Amino acid sequence: MRGVRGAVSVPSNDEPTILDCTRRMISEALELNAIQPEQIAAILFAVTPDLDAAYPARAAREMGLRHVPLLDFVSPDVKGGMAMVVRMLLLWNTDVEQGRLRHVYLGDAGKLRPDLAEPAGAPGRASSLP
């Protein structure tokens, strides 16, 4: 089993925006790693305390991930931490080497892990958020 990380900055605290941003993050992680839904063991979502208009797991359910265990929780409110972010840990049943995983950091969330974030337009990279 491997863990694919993701994070996306969310421009506003409203249900459609949170769900859309979460769908983009999930879709990109699945595409970049060629993950099939039946290979997903679980997905954990953490939201910053300022995002309370929707559960990110709902986006996954609406994408058809109905049998994947999903869990939403609130990240600690750390002084100086980035606001308006949905984070994801996707647990993937695979033999792919850990160093070959492609993690997804969209929008300003790329600042959280610049060592893992790929620049927009990189080969194999789906569109990033504005």
The CATH number that applies at residue 60 is 3.30.1330.40
pLDDT digits (tens, 9 = 90+) for 83-113: 999 999 999 999 999 999 999 999 999 888 8
The answer as to whether 126 is a domain residue is no
Is the pLDDT at 115 greater than 70? The verdict is yes
- Statement: residue 121 has pLDDT above 50: no
- If we measure between CA atoms, which residue out of 50, 54, 49, 52 comes closest to residue 22? 54
Residue 86 lies in a domain: yes
**DSSP 8-state code for residue 96:** -
Q: Is the Cα torsion angle 55, 56, 59, 60 positive or negative in sign? A: negative
CB 19 within 8 A of CB 59: yes
> Which DSSP state fits 55?
-
Q: How far is CA 85 from CA 56, 66, 95, 99, 128, in A?
A: 11, 24, 30, 25, 14
- How many domains is the chain partitioned into structurally? 1
**Residue 116 forms part of a structural domain:** no
Domain for residue 66, yes or no?
A: yes
- Does 43 fall in a domain? yes
